[in-house]
Amino acid sequence: MALTSIVTVNYNQPEATLALLASIKRNLNLDDLEIIIVDNGSLTDCGALFKQCLPQLIYIRSQTNLGFAGGNNLGIKAASGQYVLMVNNDTEVVKGMTEILVHEMEANPEIGMISPLILYFDQPDTIQYAGYTPMNYVTCRNKTEGLMEKNAGQYTGISKETAYCHGAAMMCRKADIINISLMPEMYFLYYEELDWCEMFKKAGKKIWFTGKTHIFHKESISVGRESALKTYFVTRNRILFIRRNASLFNQIIFAFYFTCVAIPKQIIIYVLKKRTDLIPYLRRALTWNITQSRNSLKLGFNTVE
């Protein structure tokens, strides 16, 4: 089978990363794999610890936190595999997962990126992801197919085109990354994989989901559900995604909706939840977008050196 490079990013979560490595050793054929760990500015250098678990892995340490895209891009640049599988370090793989994903891509050359069925690690009979619906460019909202459904085999054996891959587990060809570009780094956290999928689609590639294999995801290890960090980047990048991908007409409609409906609604929710401490981060997100020129938003289309 073609060599697959597995790239994962560690940020102060050595226990989660070690659990992922253990699942890779237990369930995948290491002869067909290249394992790359990017340490993304963690306080402690755990390279020796990771290599005790898997001596042949490639360990890359960044002194600063480069964000989700920046960390993955470091690993992609070092990858020598024909296929690159990016997985969150808070996931655990199942038997034969990489072989199935590669088989799906080789069976259909039009596929540019593919994600497997994603199940919650703590609730393994509950689905987190089985594809995405297209983006609504008025609200910058879409839906996750299968979310919170009981896994009764309704997606087993199904492979289909979808709107977006899921950042927790997505595979693509190294050759396509070279032709299209690396993941856009200006997002830092959230929405970058959606933008990357848009870049692949503009290049004529299709985005795919398969239920022929799955992965378990330990959701929200990195960022809390109601954190200042998440509030800022989700809000900032929701606007950024529209500015980079929607027509000027849709941008105007979105701006009216966002300022007159979405932001006031979110402020009311935070007041009711007694989380008024998060409101300033909405303002910061808006300010960031106002101060970024349209030309600067075209940056971030990085090439593989």
Per-residue pLDDT tens digits for 72-125:
999 999 999 999 999 999 999 999 999 999 999 999 999 999 999 999 999 999
Q: What percent of the chain has pLDDT over 70?
A: 94
Write the pLDDT tens digit of every residue in 34-82. Answer: 999 999 999 999 999 999 999 999 999 999 999 999 999 999 999 999 9
Q: In a 10 Å sphere around its CB, with 0-12 CB exposed, 13-18 middle and 19+ buried, how is residue 127 labelled?
A: buried
Distances (CA, A) of 93 to 118, 134, 194, 197, 267: 10, 27, 22, 23, 39
Alpha helices (runs of H) in 60-111, residue ranges in sequence order? 67-78, 97-107
Strands 83-87 and 4-10: parallel
Quick one: three-class SS letters along 139-160? CCECCECCCCCECCCCCCCCEE
Determine the length of the chain: 305
What single letter denotes the amino acid at residue 149?
A: E
Report pLDDT for 47: 95
Task: Using the predicted structure, report yes or no on whether residue 300 has a pLDDT greater than 80.
Answer: no
Write down the pLDDT at residue 65.
95
- State yes or no: pLDDT of 304 exceeds 70: no
At residue 221 the predicted structure's pLDDT band, cuts being 50, 70 and 90, is very low
CA 108 to chain CA centroid, nearest Å: 22
pLDDT digits (tens, 9 = 90+) for 245-297: 999 999 999 999 999 999 999 999 999 999 999 999 999 999 999 998 766 66
**Whether pLDDT at 129 is above 70:** yes
Instruction: Please check the confidence at residue 222 and state whether its pLDDT lies above 50.
Output: no
User: Confidence class of residue 223 from pLDDT cuts 50, 70 and 90?
Assistant: very low
Residues 17 and 10: their CA atoms lie apart, in Å, by: 7
| Per-residue burial over 217-247, b = 16 or more CB atoms within 10 Å of its CB, e = otherwise | bbbebbeeeeeeebbbbbbbbbbbbbebbbe
The average confidence (pLDDT) of the chain is 94
Q: What is the pLDDT of residue 122?
A: 92
Q: Give the 3-state secondary structure of residue 161.
A: strand
* Range 142-158 average pLDDT: 96
**pTM, whole model, 2 decimals?**
0.93
